[in-house]
Amino acid sequence: MSQVTPTLEQIRNFEGKYPKQLWSLFTIEMWERFCFYGMRGMLTVFMVTQLGLGDKEANLQYGAIQAFVYAFTFIGGVFADKILGFQKSLIWGAATMIAGGLVIALSPSETGFYIGTCFSIVGTGFFKPNISTMVGQLYHEGDSRRNAGFSLFYSGINLGALLGGALMIWVGKNHSWSIAFALVSVAMTISLITFLATRKNLGPIGLSPFGPEVPVTKRKMLEVATYLGSLLCLPLVFVLVKNSRYTDLFMYIIGPATLVWLGWEMRKFNREQNKRIGAALVFIFFSVLFWAFFEQSGGSLSLFALNNLKPSLFGLGMDPNVINNSSNSLFVILFAPLVGIVWVWLAKRKAEPNSVVKFGLGFFLLGLAFMVFAWTKAFAGPDGLTSLEVFTLGYFVITFGELCLSPIGLSLMTQLAPTSIQGLMMGMWFLASAYGQYVAGLLGAGMSTADPNAAALVKLGAYTDGYKQLGIYALIAGVALVAISPLVRRLMKGVH
């Protein structure tokens, strides 16, 4: 019996806490995040141990690569909005990421690493913003279950992050870097097959943005041009990524250009819609600061784990890089559904804190977490090695800060943005992450010792002093957010 394609109304009129389509999107995103977080956890370690980069250079290179990954999500969101639609964008992104993993696996040299990374950057750009947007379209406007749905979806993200973050770095360090990078292609193939098998359940969600008045031949021509254009830009991406000094120029251009583009789109909307877009921009700005601190996990914290942590957790032998790459994800999996249920429970009693306060709370917890990372200095021996237990406690705290911000931010972009620019706004949300990653690299480089051969105790002092400063700045940002919350709530026009 053939599968019946549901209408949008049938999808949104689901019973219970979660729509059934959420589970397939959960699985698809889980495997993509397996790849992303696995790669993120390997980048600095691979560059330092295999490509011979120093800590400072590796931090800068990490920031550049991750900045381009997230910057291309903005570009992918625009092309999904205007030409491909979310479903075809996702398929093309997955295929490109599969190619990227294969390139590095077959040639784990410096050139192969950068070429494969370029494929992954472009692929993630087409994949990442669009699946989050489709999750938002499963819900009616004002549905109080939306945040719980995004919290569950966020658990899927982190289940993939847990598996990829732990497995890929372990395989790379202890067995074969080629096999570790090949896992990207394996996981993305599973993700793509899952989507192709379940896409009919999405009904009209994510289909072509063109109306029936646009000829099919014109649609096909624009789609093919998008595919070819994304491949033709790979050499440019290679030059930009390989030479991190070009990152500055790119980041100076892409942000202002994005705001100009958004300003042009805003002329189509009424005053109330534009106020909501203004509120979204406030959240986007603060998310830049949040990710600049949080994403030390793939940069300075990854090198801190490599050089300054004892390989023992509560008496059990443990690779500190596995803990660095996976503990946050494990805590999210354990507590994200619970946090989502708490928000729903509070909403029913009209006691749920508004999104601005949640963001502020996220910064307070972020600041506390970095104070814990700085506190590891007190447990260090003369060899510069310190407590993995205290380090893990820092990740426990930072997890709750993340849960107050990231899934809420994804949900807010789909609520505050008009439907016609939801891909653009989701892309801007991830572009904010690009700026966060870029700044994270600069901060990590600033905390690194100039001498790559410095003693572990010297590196420990440099990093922990830097973490203390980041903790202070995060607390200040939290205070600022709470102070401006009444103004932002007025801009949000009824969105909680």
Predicted pLDDT at 406:
72
pLDDT digits (tens, 9 = 90+) for 404-461: 877 677 677 777 877 777 767 777 777 788 888 888 888 888 887 767 677 888 888 8
For residue 473, how many other CB atoms are within 10 A of its CB? 17
What is the chain's mean pLDDT, rounded?
85
First to last CA, the chain: 43
Higher per-residue confidence, 312 vs 132 = 312
Predicted pLDDT at 3:
60
Sequence-ordered list of residues with C-beta below 8 angstroms from that of 157, at least 6 positions apart, any chain: 29, 30, 33, 332
pLDDT of 468 > 90? The answer is: yes
pLDDT of 2 > 70? The answer is: no
Q: How far apart are alpha carbons 38 and 164 in whole angstroms? A: 4
Confidence of residue 91 (pLDDT cuts 50, 70, 90): very high
- Cα 446 to chain centroid distance, Å, stands at 23
Predicted pLDDT at 1:
40
pLDDT of 167 > 60? The answer is: yes
pLDDT digits (tens, 9 = 90+) for 139-162: 887 787 876 787 777 777 778 888
- Cα 220 to chain centroid distance, Å, stands at 31
List the structure tokens of 263. Answer: 């300003």
- Three-state DSSP at 244 gives coil
- Three-state DSSP at 143 gives coil
Distances (CA, A) of 441 to 47, 435, 446, 447: 14, 10, 8, 10
Domains defined for the chain, CATH in brackets: 11-492 (1.20.1250.20)
Predicted pLDDT at 266:
83
Confidence of residue 189 (pLDDT cuts 50, 70, 90): very high
pLDDT of 196 > 90? The answer is: yes
Out of 23-32, 345-354, 355-364, pick the least confident. 345-354
Predicted pLDDT at 165:
86
pLDDT digits (tens, 9 = 90+) for 357-399: 888 889 999 999 999 999 999 998 888 899 999 999 999 999 9
Are 421 and 348 contacting, i.e. CB atoms less than 8 angstroms apart? Answer: no
Are 244 and 64 contacting, i.e. CB atoms less than 8 angstroms apart? Answer: yes
Average pLDDT rounded to a whole number, residues 61-86 = 82
The two most distant CA atoms of the chain are separated, in Å, by 73
Higher per-residue confidence, 128 vs 175 = 175
Are 32 and 189 contacting, i.e. CB atoms less than 8 angstroms apart? Answer: no
Higher per-residue confidence, 440 vs 227 = 227
pLDDT digits (tens, 9 = 90+) for 251-305: 888 888 888 888 888 888 888 888 888 888 888 888 889 989 998 888 889 889 8
**Highest mean pLDDT out of 69-78, 185-194, 441-450:** 185-194
Q: How far apart are alpha carbons 345 and 352 in whole angstroms? A: 8
List the structure tokens of 433. Answer: 């992450």
- What percent of the chain stands above pLDDT 70? 97
Are 28 and 195 contacting, i.e. CB atoms less than 8 angstroms apart? Answer: yes
